[in-house]
Amino acid sequence: MSNPVPVGIPRRKVAVRIDGAERSAAEGCTILDVCRDAGVEVPTICWDPTITPVNACRVCVVELEGSRTLVPACSRRVTEGMEIRTGGDRVRASRRMVLELLASSVDLSRAEADILRWLEEYGTDPERHGPDRARVTEPVRRHDELYVRDYDRCVLCYKCVDACGTEAQYTFAIAVAGRGFDARISTEYDVELPESACVYCGNCIGVCPTGALIFTREYDLRESGRFDPEAQAVTTTVCPYCGVGCNLELHTQDDEIFRVTSPQDHEVTSGHLCIKGRFGFEYAGGRRREQREGADPATEASPQA
Amino acid sequence: MESRPPVGAPTPAEVRVLDGAVGRRHDPVDSRVIRRGPDRRHLLLPSLHALQDGIGWISPEALAALCERLEVPRAEAFGVATFYALLRTEAGPRTVVHVCDDIACRVHPGYRDPAEHTGHHRGEQVGVHPSPCLGQCDRAPALFVQRAGDDAARWTATGSVADALAGEGAAEAPPRVVAAGPAWLTGRIGVVDPTSLEEYRAHGGYQALRVALAMGPEAVLREIADSGLRGRGGAAFPTGVKWRAVAASAQRDRYVVCNADESEPGTFKDRVLLEGDPFALVESMTIAGVTVGASQGYVYIRGEYAGAEERIIAAVEQARRHGLLGSDVAGSGLTFDIDVRRGAGAYICGEETALFNSLEGYRGEPRSKPPFPTEVGLFGRPTVVNNVETLHNVPVILGCGAAGFRAVGTAESPGTKLFSVAGDVSGPGVYEVPFGTPLGELLALAGAPVSPGAVLLGGAAGVFVPPGASDVPLTFEDVRAAELTLGSGSVTVFGDAADIGDIVERITEFFRDESCGQCVPCRVGTVRQNEAIVRLRSGSAQPGDADLLDDLDTVMSDASICGLGHTAAAAVGSARRLGLLDGAGARR
């Protein structure tokens, strides 16, 4: 994390209790901040360090003394004297059900490792909701060489919408449409991306926790069964296109880039990029030219000819 | 702002509708349109209504043109348009009949499954859609007609689709309104002409506003607090505390919002108040406005209440003409005005923060609380938001004083309460009774069978009443002690022959349809609950289904964002505890 510059009036400290232990926290912190400082794991899905919490997934709920219901740790700000319990049957029961309900309705097989671990740890059993249960069924939207939208995996965490909108890109190409179980991330009238406001910055892919938004190359690798973490590497570099100096992380398998990210704690990008940094890596893979249809390797030496 | 890829031009008819709704984009006279910023977004829902009414659907071209004028991203506007049941984003028949198939109508002898209704009328194709409760349970079986075009109209009706289509402009039967005790809230209904300000004044109208202006805000706040008035929308929050918080705010911009989005199945008392005594609401909101220091009020009324909307708009206009609204309210020098906004078919918009979002032009998704509306409400400003019935109590309190108000009801629940009684009763209607009236007495008053099959208190979000509960006094404290709820004050009675399993299944379907989809416990939980009840009723229940329903109850009531999720398992849970679903699987 970048160090915050201290300006203005210093924040008052408030005393709270997390699972019985006294903690001191700066006023305005969330329960989640305090828990993480205390080394208490609170699962999150829709929370992201670069995005204002929407507290939609509800997997981070904790027990707050005096509150009739559980409260979302990600967005509830601490106040003096709060008594918070992050474990116990009541909290575990709701977390287990949230995870189980998600797993029963969408395909989480490509979700972040933490999510997969919590599914195990909390003892979820999606199958008990019956073989005929409603699921999210959407066609895979694979329309170009840049990215794929596979909404069967979407948990509606709102991160892509917010990254596309006011939290990063201010492009507003996607929003939630429909209602209830039929709510989906969508462009207007579900038009294809080139007809929408999308500028292909790929910041939605960067924040997607479940693989619903994915680089086309990575998607193809995974679908063909050739995706192999053992054969992968991450190379950190600086984007060559302009003078801003965004850090890039090039994820490669067999020397072929299949995904580009930027570190979330990078003070220039906060994890966000533009179309050039995100997708403009074609030139880095020399093999593309050799593979060009009809191209003869012998004439490649003098392309002017 | 987003880039805007070109789309086709809207049709001349669509342009006309948009000109009327938001003003012309390049009209030099209309200074509204050159202003930039987010302040015109609240016109989004009224504009979508205008397109729906004028054209019959919201086309991509019209949406794009609207978005350009309001500076709203297209994807977001599409998200708003697809949130509501009364707005369509695909072309279809210009006339649509919404047939109520909810809990009160489906037990009516005249009820027919919407699927059995014909889709044609005089050679024209007519859309027939099943609908959640239309708030016309006293006029069951209820229908609501939406016709688009140059002769756009909306009206409600009773009977069949054919009856509804033939019934345009026909006067609805007057509602049955009974007061057992002081008729504080219902005294003028059916007595005065609801379109006449003169008659309203002749029957005590606008005396309370005069009293309020003479007393001053501080005294009014004290009187409301001392009266012990509690919110009638379901949460029973002390009204005086709410008003005081907004009045004491350091922010200057404040709002008064009347929640007239009455959508709880089985509830229609606010509709009866709005139709029968609209000026009382205007006066009550004006008192609220001058007391808390708000200069703008909004009535958010559900889209299916076409008649009530017409009445309240007419009342606001008359009050404005007579100087009772506007920049000099009743000669006091204070400013207060009211805007009437129409919902578009979403139960969730009755949740106060969802209502704010809807009014501001966003999807009607509830916000996280805290902060509460008194702090961060409509447009982010401190807001008093009250139910119609709650507000109707205000002139009563100023008329008889806090002590006089407390002379009726109980210490914790002073005053009278309106109940919407419907279903298998001989006299469906609105009953005004003093708080503390036993449930059995109310049922007898409405002509319920001596031993009904089941009684549902508080609508879909409420609970089934156990047998022997007829002695329970209807007060906030007594029903809580009996683990019941007053909720919105609806009492739906089911006769011996009624299939309670079918009613419970309809309730689970209601929540499945009406969940906004924002949080996981409610979005998926309401679906799984519905599926489990369907399994139970079809005899294909799985061994673990009882535990599953318990777990769904737990996660929805403990971890959902708002009251919809918190109460989505209440009726099912009570039905299970009372054994009303026993043998449901064997029935088929």
Q: Does domain B416-494 have CATH number 3.10.20.600?
A: yes
Tokens representing B393 are 């109590």
> CA A197, CA A296: separation in Å to the nearest integer?
39
Structure tokens at B111: 């009820």
* Crossing angle of helices B207-215 and B278-292, rounded to 10°: 10
In terms of CA atoms, which chain A residue is nearest residue B2? A171
Would you list the domain boundaries of chain B? 12-81, 95-166, 178-406, 416-494, 500-587
* Residue B30 scores a pLDDT above 60: no
Report, as an integer, the average pLDDT of B37-62: 92
Task: Answer whether CATH 3.40.50.2300 is correct for domain A12-131.
Answer: no
Q: Across the interface, do B75 and A196 touch by the CB < 8 Å criterion? A: yes
pLDDT digits (tens, 9 = 90+) for B231-279: 999 899 999 999 999 999 999 999 999 999 999 999 999 999 999 999 9
Most distant CA atoms of chain A, gap in Å: 80
Contact B561 A55 (CB under 8 A): yes
What average pLDDT does the structure give for chain B?
A: 94
Q: Does B60 touch chain A (CB under 8 A)?
A: yes
Average pLDDT in the B87-94 region? 96
Query: B75–A172: do the CB atoms touch at under 8 Å?
Result: yes
Predicted local confidence at residue B123, as pLDDT = 78
Whether residue A8 has pLDDT greater than 80: no
Query: What is the reported pLDDT for B37?
Result: 44
How close is the nearest chain A Cα to the Cα of B89, in Å? Answer: 8
Whole-number Å distance between alpha carbons of B414 and B20: 47
pLDDT confidence of residue B6? 81
The predicted pLDDT at position B169 comes to 82
Span A4-15, mean pLDDT? Answer: 79
Q: How confident is the model at residue A57 (pLDDT cuts 50, 70, 90)?
A: very high
Rounded to whole angstroms, how far apart are CA atoms A115 and B9? 46
| ipTM field | 0.94
pLDDT higher than 50, residue A90 = yes
| C-beta neighbour count of B34 within 10 angstroms | 10
Q: What is the pLDDT of residues A238-253, one digit of tens each?
A: 999 999 999 999 999 9
Tell me the pLDDT band of A289, cut-offs 50, 70 and 90: low
Q: What is the pLDDT of residue B236?
A: 94
Domain range B500-587, its CATH number among 1.20.1440.230, 3.40.50.360, 3.10.129.10, 2.170.120.40 = 1.20.1440.230
Burial class from Cβ neighbours inside 10 Å (0-12, 13-18, 19+) for residue B162 reads middle
Chosen for mutation from B513, B514, B524 (greatest number of chain A CBs closer than 10 Å) is: B524
Cα–Cα distance, B46 to B55 (Å, whole number): 14
Nearest-Cα distance to chain A for B362, in Å, is 11
CB contacts, 8 Å: A104 with chain B: 524, 528
pLDDT in tens, A182-208: 999 999 999 999 999 999 999 999 999
Q: Is B78 in contact with A186 (Cβ distance < 8 A)?
A: yes
Of B77, B519, B551, the CB nearest to A56: B519
Domain ranges of chain A: 12-131, 141-288
* Chain B residues 362-391 with CB within 8 Å of chain A: 363, 368
- CATH match for B12-81 among 1.10.10, 3.10.180, 1.10.150, 1.10.357: 1.10.10
Residue B313's pLDDT is: 98
Cβ–Cβ under 8 Å, residues B102 and B265: yes
For residues A192 and A165, what is the distance between their CA atoms, to the nearest angstrom?
18
The 10s digit of each residue's pLDDT in A110-134 is: 999 999 999 999 999 999 999 999 9
Mean local confidence (pLDDT), B340-346: 98
Q: Per the CB < 8 Å rule, is B555 touching A94?
A: yes
The answer to whether residue A287 scores a pLDDT higher than 80 is no
Which of A160-164, B90-94, B112-116, B462-466 shows the lowest per-residue confidence on average (mean pLDDT)?
B112-116
| Total residue count of chain B as it appears in this document | 588
pLDDT tier, B31 (very low <50, low <70, confident <90, very high otherwise):
very low
Q: Which chain A residues touch B542 with a CB distance below 8 Å?
A: 128, 130
Rounded to 5 degrees, φ, ψ at B88 are -125, 140
Contact A277, A263 (CB under 8 A): no
Q: What percent of chain B has pLDDT above 70?
A: 96
Q: With beta carbons under 8 A apart, name residues in chain B contacting A155.
A: 520
What is the model's pLDDT at position B29? 41
- Residue A305 — pLDDT band, cuts 50, 70, 90? very low
Element (H, E) at A233: strand A232-238
**A178 with B83: Cβ contact below 8 A:** yes
SS3 A15: strand
Inter-chain residue contact A101 with B78, CB threshold 8 Å: no
Mean local confidence (pLDDT), A150-172: 97
pLDDT band at B585 (very low <50, low <70, confident <90, very high): low
Distance CA B477, CA B462 (A): 16
pLDDT tens digit sequence for B192-202 = 999 999 999 99
Cβ pairs A/B, distance under 8 A? 169
Model pTM score = 0.95
Chain A interface includes B169 (CB < 8 A): no
Would an 8 Å CB–CB cutoff place B539 in contact with chain A?
no
Give the closest of B83, B544, B552 to A179, CB-based.
Answer: B83
Task: Identify from B83, B523, B561 which residue to disrupt to test chain A contact, counting A C-beta atoms within 10 A and taking the largest count.
Answer: B523
Give the confidence band of A11 by pLDDT, cuts at 50, 70, 90: confident
Disruptive mutation site among A62, A70, A101, A193 for chain B (greatest number of B CBs within 10 Å): A101
Confidence band of B467 (pLDDT split at 50, 70, 90):
confident
- Report chain B residues whose CB lies below 8 A from the CB of A182: 517
Asked whether residue B34 carries a pLDDT value surpassing 70, the answer given is no
* pLDDT recorded at residue A10: 76
CA distance B338 to B340: 7
Tell me the nearest-neighbour CA distance from B107 into chain A, angstroms: 27
**Partner-chain residue, chosen from A97, A105, A170, that has the shortest CB–CB distance to B554:** A97
The whole-angstrom distance between residue B420's C-alpha and the CA centroid of its chain comes to 13
CA contacts within 13 A on the Cβ side of B357: 21
Decide if B513 touches A, using CB distance below 8 A.
Answer: yes
Pairing of strands A13-18, A21-26: antiparallel
pLDDT at B588: 37
In this complex, which of B82, B515, B558 lies closest to A69 when CB atoms are compared? Answer: B558
Residue A2 — pLDDT band, cuts 50, 70, 90? low
Residues of B in contact with A70 (CB under 8 A): 558-559
Closest among A212, A211, A202, A214 to A239, alpha carbons compared: A202
Strand partners, B493: B423, B455
Quick: pLDDT tens for B499-527: 999 999 999 999 999 999 999 999 999 99
Cβ contacts (< 8 Å) between B521 and chain A: which residues?
58, 94, 97-98, 101
- pLDDT above 60 for B436: yes
Report pLDDT for B26. Answer: 47
Identify which of B3, B77, B523 has the shortest CB distance to residue A180. Answer: B523
Q: Which residues contact B258 (CB under 8 A, 6 or more apart)?
A: B281, B285, B297, B298, B299, B300, B385, B386, B387, B388, B391
DSSP letter, residue B347: G
- Residues of chain B contacting A42 with CB distance shorter than 8 Å: none
| 8 Å CB contact between B490 and B457 | yes
Which segments of B261-407 are extended strands (E)?
Answer: 296-301, 337-342, 383-387
> Chain B residues with CB inside 8 Å of A194's CB?
5
Confidence class of residue B464 from pLDDT cuts 50, 70 and 90?
very high
Q: How far is A49 from A47, CA to CA, in rounded Å?
A: 7
Nearest CA in chain A to B547: A128
Q: Which of B369, B381, B191 is nearest to B280 (CA)?
A: B191
Report the C-alpha gap between B222 and B304 in whole angstroms.
37
Contact B526 A180 (CB under 8 A): yes
Whether chain A has a CB inside 8 Å of the CB on B358: the answer is no
| pLDDT at position B586 | 46
Segment A206-213 shows an average pLDDT of 97
User: Which residue in the set A90, A186, A197 is minimally distant from B73, CB to CB?
Assistant: A197
- The pLDDT-based confidence of B344 (bands split at 50, 70, 90) is very high
CATH class of B178-406: alpha beta
Q: Do the chains contact at A176 and B2, CB–CB below 8 Å? A: no
The architecture that CATH gives domain A141-288 is 2-Layer Sandwich (3.30)
> What's the DSSP call for residue B326?
B
Q: Is the pLDDT of residue B424 over 70?
A: yes
Whether B390 has a pLDDT exceeding 70, the answer reads yes
B552 at the A interface (CB within 8 A)?
yes
Nearest-Cα residue of chain A relative to residue B542: A130
State how far residue A39 is from chain B, nearest Cα, in angstroms: 23
